[in-house]
Structure 1
Amino acid sequence: MSDSNPMHDILTRWKAAFDGHLPDAMAELFTPDALFQGFDPDVAAGREAVRAYYDAVPERRTADVTVLHTYTIGEDAAGGFADVVFRDPTGWQAPVHLSLVLRRDADAWRIRQYHVSRISTEH
């Protein structure tokens, strides 16, 4: 665990779980009461919802992550922003802005709130 930059640490583990299509490992990165806003229109809550969301992602998708900004609030809260491009071998891609709120649990930093916003050049 990297205490000096929890955002980089959690996104490194998140990318490995996403690229490896490991929905159980992905769910473990989140707090039990996490709020999750992916591409679905509804906000999901809890690890099981996160696991189900990532289980439904096609297996050959990967994510390119660029951390833009990080912050900490005391010793047990952190977060930040990243740009992520989801891709698959067919040429499909979806660029998004990702924002995270992190909370330190007893053994590791975990994602408490996750939100993506698709980047579009159309208005």
Structure 2
Amino acid sequence: MSHVVEEVLALWKDAFDRHQPDRMADVFTSDALFQGFGPSVVTGREAVRSYYRTVADGRRAEFTVLHSYTIGADAVGGFADVTFSGASKPEVKVHMSLVLLHGAEGWKIRQYHVSRVSAQD
């Protein structure tokens, strides 16, 4: 199932790199749980869209899928290392965990969480 995680993250990365918040939101389920760098967990595509609107144009993401696993016939989990860079801002490395669901719209991110990797890790 790692190919599913790779495919969804490739869509996410392309929309992120092009600074397209509407496309970013479309990678998520309508009821997605999302924990980015902000202090709160938010829910739904509109919240995801709003979050990505605040990301500076010119930021880029590179990812490496570390692990994926099957939860059920229509659910997959995964972990990735991601590095955000560009737009005259410091590079930020994070660990990302995901849960993907397969439905009428194809594979979508249902749960997304990132945590910063400190220099001491």
Q: Above 0.5 in TM-score?
A: yes
Bigger share in strand = 2
Question: Is residue 55 of structure 1 aligned with residue 68 of structure 2?
Answer: no
Distance in 1, matches of 2:89 and 2:45, equals 30
After TM superposition, the score normalised by the length of structure 2 is 0.94
Within 5 Å, give how 1:42-121 maps onto structure 2.
42-90=40-88, 92-121=90-119
The one-letter amino acid paired with 1:117 is: S
C-alpha distance 81-4 of structure 1, shift in aligned 2 (>3 A): closer
Q: CA deviation at 1:4?
A: 7.0
Distance in 2, matches of 1:102 and 1:114, equals 9
Q: CA deviation at 1:112?
A: 0.3
Identity %: 56
After TM superposition, the score normalised by the length of structure 1 is 0.92
How many residue pairs align between the two structures? 121
Q: Which runs of 5+ in 2 are unaligned?
A: none
CA contact (8 A) 2:57 2:87 kept: no
Q: CA deviation at 1:92?
A: 1.3
2:16 to 11, 18, 21: 18
C-alpha distance 121-28 of structure 1, shift in aligned 2 (>3 A): same
Q: CA deviation at 1:122?
A: 4.3
**Helix, strand or coil at the partner of 1:63:** strand
